[in-house]
Homo-oligomer: A and B are copies of this chain.
Amino acid sequence: MKRHLVVIGGTAAGMSAAARARRGDPSLPITVFERSGHITYGSCGLPYYIGDEIKDIHDLIVYKPEYMKKERNIDVNILHEVTEINIQEKYVDVKDLTTGKTFKQLYSHLMIATGAVPVIPPIPGADNKNVFTLRNIEDGLRIKDFLSSKKVKRAAVLGAGFIGLELAEALRNLGIDVIVFEMLSQILPQLDGEFVAIIEEELRKNQVRLYKNTRVTEFKTSGEDSVRILTENGEIFDADIVIVSVGVRPNTVLAKNAGIKTGLKGGIVVDNYMRTSASDIWAAGDCTETHHFVTKKPIYVPLGTTANKQGKIAGGNMLGGKAAFPGVLGTQVTKIFDLYVAATGLNEAGAQDVGIETVSAKIKQSDKASYYPGSKPIHVKIILDKKSGRIMGAQMVGSEGVGKRIDVFVTAITAGMTVYEFNELDLAYAPPVAPVYDPILIAASAGIKAMRQNEIRN
């Protein structure tokens, strides 16, 4: 069979795989089919485009098809939808969305990188013209166009996860009134709860109205340009725009129809080498189920960093490489107005789910020498394995300094460090950068104290 790598999806995972395969084999034909009009865009940047912090949406587009052809000799076909995978005869059916023509493309290696699609809850009226989701460039342009053509004064965001809150900030930056609805009793379920009050205070300070424990039951057209939001609690709200941001699910219709094994939330099951259940088919990124680095159990964590890494690994392995994906820690970070929020590893609930008993500690400490002008507080929570003192997870809220401090925990968890080893780290100190005992070391000390108290109790 003629060697030909076909990639379904010009996502971060797809393009990473294609680029990696090209580096490994300069002559392998590589063809990418992408249904939308764009490849590998910085989708995490979309809220900042909505909020006018990024003026030109083209800044989010990392590579253009022409560039991939010229510089990497990769054929990228945008506006081409793969409609079927035939795993026996090793071809895909493709539809050119511009001309409507269809054709078959044989493959020797197939990469599925179809990404994820927004979850739309089954709410009557969710197809209202004022109700949007934000996942890709086209969504971004549509929302932006709506915001600039209508007199939008009131916005509602469904979902108080990382992206929902980023959107709330973006809309406030435009001077729009913002209500956020969250079905659960807590925003940002990645966090354990202690720090949530600090984030809620930041939202309040910035006039974001938050409704927790609030399930939206219906959207109704109201007046000429607005939408009426009804909740389970019987409340009624009017908004000019609604953005639904309640998460994404793997886009795996193609894979399922082809009989490829799927798992958690419908994500494609892959082994550590990014191989699917079908021979010569790899998958990576937001369309796959992955596993947690600590628990080794399957999870679904659609993140750009993971997609890039998995794509690279798939691209190398399909040419004979033997790289294994070690799993994810689910590291997340964001900025919510002037507050940075970060988490990695297991939270207490997550540890409990897999039967790990934990000890935890939390502290508040200045991010710079306390006497240095402009120093701000950082809150750190550290979660430890009760038996060994191994670090299982960490959460932080505070100044910009949390952004990269979380990575110290990422490294420690990956290395299997105990809190005792962590406490001895020779971390950087200078008054404009950190106090002599960095907040993360103070957290480690508090963790050791908690371990000791726990021993005394038992």
Question: Are B417 and A45 in contact, with the CB atoms below 8 A?
Answer: no
CB neighbours of A304 from chain B (8 A): 429, 436
CB neighbours of A430 from chain B (8 A): 44, 162, 332-335, 403
CB neighbours of A11 from chain B (8 A): none
Contact check: which of B293, B408, B429, B432 meets A335 at CB < 8 Å? B432
Interface class of chain A by DSSP: mixed
Chain A residues 388-418 with CB under 8 Å of chain B are 400-401, 403-408, 410-412, 414-417
CB neighbours of A426 from chain B (8 A): 293, 305-306, 328-331, 344, 410, 414
Q: In whole angstroms, how far apart are the Cα atoms of A45 and B371 in the complex?
A: 8
In the complex, whether A340 has a CB less than 8 A from a CB of chain B is yes
Contact check: which of B60, B305, B422 meets A429 at CB < 8 Å? B305
* Shortest Cβ distance from residue A411 to the other chain B in the assembled complex, whole angstroms: 4
CB neighbours of A234 from chain B (8 A): none
CB neighbours of A416 from chain B (8 A): 415
Interface string of A36-59 (1 = CB under 8 A from B): 000000101100100001100001
Chain A interface, number of residues (Cβ within 8 angstroms): 66
Q: Provided the pairs A335-B432, A434-B404 are in contact, do residues A427 and B305 lie with their beta carbons within 8 angstroms?
A: yes
Q: In whole angstroms, how far apart are the Cα atoms of A334 and B371 in the complex?
A: 16
CB neighbours of A407 from chain B (8 A): 404-405, 407-408, 425, 427-428, 438, 440
Question: Are A406 and B421 in contact, with the CB atoms below 8 A?
Answer: no
Q: In whole angstroms, how far apart are the Cα atoms of A437 and B303 in the complex?
A: 12
Chain A residues 331-349 with CB under 8 Å of chain B are 331-335, 340, 342, 344
Residue of B nearest to A371 (CB): B59
Q: In whole angstroms, how far apart are the Cα atoms of A371 and B424 in the complex?
A: 37
Most buried by B among A44, A304, A340, A429: A429
Q: In whole angstroms, how far apart are the Cα atoms of A332 and B433 in the complex?
A: 11
Q: Report A's interface with B, CB cutoff 8 A.
A: 12, 42, 44-45, 48, 53-54, 59-60, 162, 293, 303-306, 308-309, 325-326, 328-335, 340, 342, 344, 369, 371-373, 400-401, 403-408, 410-412, 414-417, 421-422, 424-434, 436-438, 440
Q: What 7 A-B pairs have minimum CB-CB distances, sorted nearest first?
A: A415-B415, A59-B371, A403-B433, A333-B428, A411-B411, A329-B426, A335-B432
